[in-house]
Structure 1
Amino acid sequence: MHEFVICHQRSNHIIAELARDAPAIDIDAKRSSVMNLDERIVSLLPSRARKLAGWLLRGSGSHRVDERLYLREGIEFLVRLAPYADFIGDIPYGVVLWDLQYRLNPWFPEISSGGEWERRDDGTSSMLRRASVIYVGTEEGRRQIEYFYQVPSNRIEVLSSPAPELALAAADVPPDSDVVRRLGVKGEYLFYPAQFWPHKNHVVVLEACRLIRQQTGWDLGVVFSGGDKGNRQHVDDYARRLGLAEKTLFTGFVEQAELIQLYKNAFCLVYPTFCGPEGLPPMEAFALGCPVVASAIPGASEQLGNAALLHPPTDEQALADAIISLRDAEVRNALVAAGRRHATRAHWDDYAKGIVASLDRFARIRRCWGAR
């Protein structure tokens, strides 16, 4: 049997709320109790200066504050549910890895500019090579870790990512066109929920709409939701150059009920990202009965199966052809049915059981030494 404790930061309100009824360690509240004088001084500095000073302290060989806190609290193994490489310590750990796309697509500015590529590669290299177990969603993810970082296959667990609960719970909610009209949606539209990073490839959707209009006369709109990460103006300008400004809607972030209705009323979800394949929108769309057209990046066919139409992310004609094919009711209905089946193939209980099984196996190694 394993005893689980949620280690969380008070600033993460969602995790803090979940931790209210479970054994938990509030890192923010307890961190100061294990700090030495230098670390207390550093904690009072502005954010940027604090990062630099903290790096200098680590470079001198001192243990990270959080690690000392975990050791004091008797933590023997950490399961890190997000692949942030800011803690590499001497406590064994497992980590969930979403992708290694900075290795496959190193040219995007959000991945390469200002030393970002080097920071990612240095941190990920240490994180993966020291991990006791790595959790990925596909066999393609396993192959990439083995290839880029030479991690033995037996330290990599493939756990299929389930559809988000919010989408499964809303599967039978009826479409309500009034909700999307209030957002400014007019007529048939493609839906793409993604933050405005260059690698999200919003422009290929606009190019596909241009081709569809030229080749069929179909005046199909586009709804882009998500926050601006510096590339929205470029996408807006691109739409204007193609004469699609009036058919392109930018909603920003939307409420959960609005998101559900954007899926349910859309002609289809388009997901032409260059990076992945561990993306939530296709799984949400499957559960909500929205057809999916996605990019054929490595691992996509494994994650999405036969429930999505795939196209090369650089090929707007292939994207346009896939969208047009969904005007055939038989094709569309078959894809929606396949998506609903795919959304229920994996469950969060199974995901949790997979993590626990990996801990069971590692416990036979961890029993070889006592508390430190």
Structure 2
Amino acid sequence: MKVGFFFNDPSPHSGGVFTYQQDIFRSFLELAAESHHEFHVICEHDKQEDFSALPGRPPNVHISALAAPEPPLTPRRRVVRFLRRVSGTGKRTFTKEKGPLISRPAAVLAGNQIEFTWSIGHYEHEAFDVPYITTVFDLQHRLQPWFPEVSQGGLWDIREEFFSRYVRRAAYVITGTEEGRREIKNFYRVPAKRIRVLPLPTPSFCFDPPETGNASRLQALGITGRYLYYPAQFWAHKNHANLLHALRLINDGETEPFQLALVGSDHGNIDHVRSLARTLGVDQQVLFLGFVTREDLTALYQGAFALTYASLFGPDNLPPLEAFALGCPVITSNYDGAHEQLEDAALFVDALAPESIAAAVRQLLQNPDLRQQMIEKGHIRARKWTATDYVREIFSILDEFEMVRRCWQ
């Protein structure tokens, strides 16, 4: 088949989405020659030269750019585009070709006779007549609609429109866990056989970390002793608030208090977190490190006493996998899907109960053997599923659908 591969090249500041998509794309380029399909990487017009110059691009991988957006935008379309960008659901822009108004993706698919498409993120398009794979990371607007990042300013309606349109009509929907499959089936009535579970792969950068220089990196970041670590952008659902309450309990009576290293970009909630840290009297122990380099990120994992992953959203998450691979014990919230994703390699807590988080930290503190066992289990879990495994499963799905697609021209 001729397969269109939508790759929207996210910013590093998007966090886990960037890590995941870059890893899948890199593995795709490495493995594409194993497949008999013809791939067209579909990118924005201004990215065509960058993609075309990729070293080692296999002969069955071509670069097909979308047409340049057509200015000017009407005020209404400018508002719609802004809201979609803020919500992370992609963007719609249109171009005229011989009269009718058609979408840029539809035009590039038709021009290259694409028979099937795959996107590794929430890439929105209007080319419904071409069968496609779409990916669902979470449906938290349905499960926890009270969080502002999935509800306020019309975001609930935008997310619902997106999933209703793209999930229901997809040939295959990819999700990371059986919990994710159940949610997609229950909320959008997609038949189970069209939902495929491909776990989030452990990021490849974690398997080959730098061997030296961590001490100086940590010192430069303000680390002065033992610390807990939480890489998470400052959304409300990341639950920094209850983690700060836990930190106060953990350090109560300790002669050597734990620091808490927080890494991530602000999405409107950091002022609240800073204010709460001052109110609780733990602001001197909390490091707000913002966006850090991958080298610093790795050093923080490797030096931490534990990852305290307090997020309330599931059904799967990347930071625990990164921690596993880099030898950092994991304490995690018991989000839906957590046990399935992380198996027995983590300590699970009620992240809305600060005393539960504090008890898990004390458990590792009082039992060094348990902490070492968690590190060893984490290493095993981290290597169970990689981006290579993920891409090969996608190729198997393409092979399967090829038998269907040959039924029409």
Q: TM-score, normalised by structure 2?
A: 0.81
Q: Unaligned stretches of 5+ in structure 2?
A: 1-35, 83-90
Q: How does 1:105-144 map to 2 (within 5 A)?
A: 105-144=144-183
- Determine which of 56, 62, 71 is the counterpart of 1:24: 62
Distance 1:18 1:344 in 2: 31
Asked whether the 8 Å contact 1:272–1:294 carries over to 2, the reply is yes
Deviation by residue 1:272-331 (Cα, 9 ceiling, x = unmatched): 101123321111100000001111011010001111111122111111111111111111
What SS does the corresponding residue of 1:63 show, helix, strand or coil? Answer: strand
Matched residue SS, 2:252 = helix
Q: How many Å apart are 1:348 and its aligned residue?
A: 2.0
Other-structure match for 2:203: 164
> Which one-letter code corresponds to 1:73 in the other structure?
N
SS of match in other structure, 2:395:
helix
Cα 1:297–1:45 change in 2 (3 A) is: same
For residues 327-349 of structure 1, what are the alpha-carbon distances to aligned partners after superposition, in whole Å with 9 as ceiling and x for unaligned?
11111000000000000011222
Distance 1:352 1:200, change over 3 A: same
1:4 and 2:42 matched: no
Query: Which residue type is aligned with residue 113 of structure 2?
Result: G
Secondary structure (helix, strand or coil) at the match of 1:269 reads strand
8 Å CA contact retained: 1:175, 1:265: no
Structure 2 residue aligned with 1:276: 314
- Identify the residue that residue 211 of structure 1 maps to in structure 2: 249
Report the Cα offset of residue 204 of structure 1.
1.3
Is 1:182 equivalent to 2:220 in the alignment? yes
1:57 Cα deviation from its structure 2 partner: 9.2
CA contact (8 A) 1:189 1:222 kept: yes
- Give the counterpart letter for 2:357 in structure 1: L
Which segment drifts farther, 95-104 or 191-200? 95-104
1:63 aligns with 2:93: no
**Contact 2:94–2:102 (Cα < 8 Å) also in 1:** no
Tell me if structure 2 keeps the 8 A contact 1:191–1:222: yes
* Structure 1 residue 365: Cα displacement: 1.2
Could you tell me how far apart the structure 2 residues matched to 1:262 and 1:234 are? 24
What is the aligned-residue identity percentage? Answer: 36
Q: 1:47 Cα shift?
A: 7.8
- Structure 1 pair 256–12 and aligned structure 2 pair: CA distance change class (3 A): farther
CA gap of 1:91–1:208, structure 2 versus 1, over 3 A, is same
Q: 1:57 to 1:118 in 2, by over 3 A?
A: farther
CA distance in 1, matches of 2:218, 2:269: 24
Residue 80 of structure 1: aligned partner: 119
SS in 2 for 1:359: helix
Given the alignment, which residue of 374, 387, 394 partners 1:335? 374
1:100 maps to 2:130: no
Asked if the contact 2:48/2:65 (under 8 Å) is kept, the reply is no
AA aligned to 1:5 is H
**Amino acid across the alignment from 2:320:** P
Change (3 A) 1:15 1:40: closer
Q: Secondary structure at the match of 1:313?
A: coil
Displacement after TM superposition at 1:21 (Å):
4.3
Cα distance between partner residues in 2 of 1:17 and 1:45:
34
* Aligned pairs (5 A) from 1:220-239: 220-239=258-277
Task: Tell me which residue corresponds to 1:365.
Answer: 404
1:32-70 per-residue CA deviation (whole Å, 9 max, x = no partner) reads: 4xxxxxx83446989826849968999x98431221111
Q: Is the 8 A contact 2:40 2:64 kept in 1?
A: no
- Equivalent residue, structure 1, for 2:11: none
Offset at 1:10? 5.5
Q: Supply the AA of the counterpart residue of 1:317.
A: E
Q: Does 1:295 align with 2:330?
A: no
- In the aligned structure 1, how far is the partner of 2:208 from the partner of 2:126? 35
- Where is the helix percentage greater, Structure 1 or Structure 2? 1
Judge conservation of contact 1:64–1:89 (CA < 8 Å) in 2. no
Aligned to 1:35: none
CA distance in 1: counterparts of 2:50 and 2:162, whole angstroms: 24
1:147 partner letter? N
Distance (Å, rounded) in 2 between the aligned partners of 1:365 and 1:124: 24
C-alpha distance in structure 1 between counterparts of 2:111 and 2:49, whole Å: 25
Contact 2:312 2:335 in 1 (8 A): yes
Moved more, 235-244 or 185-194: 185-194
Q: Given that residues 8 and 15 in structure 1 are in contact (C-alpha distance below 8 angstroms), is that contact kept between their aligned partners in structure 2?
A: no
Structure 1 residues 204-238: Cα deviation after superposition (integer angstroms, max 9, x where no partner):
11111111122656511101011111111110001
CA distance in 2, matches of 1:345, 1:186: 34
What is the DSSP-based 3-state SS (H/G/I as helix, E as strand, rest coil) of the residue aligned with 1:5?
Answer: strand
In structure 1, the residue matched to 2:78 is 48
Amino acid at match of 1:178: S
CA distance in 1, matches of 2:377, 2:50: 33
Provide the rounded CA distance (Å) in 2 between the counterparts of 1:261 and 1:82.
Answer: 28
Shift of residue 102, structure 1, vs aligned partner: 1.4
1:190-216: CA deviation from partner (whole Å, max 9, x where unpaired): 111111000111111111111112265
CA distance in 1, matches of 2:39, 2:101: 27
One-letter amino acid matched to 1:258: D
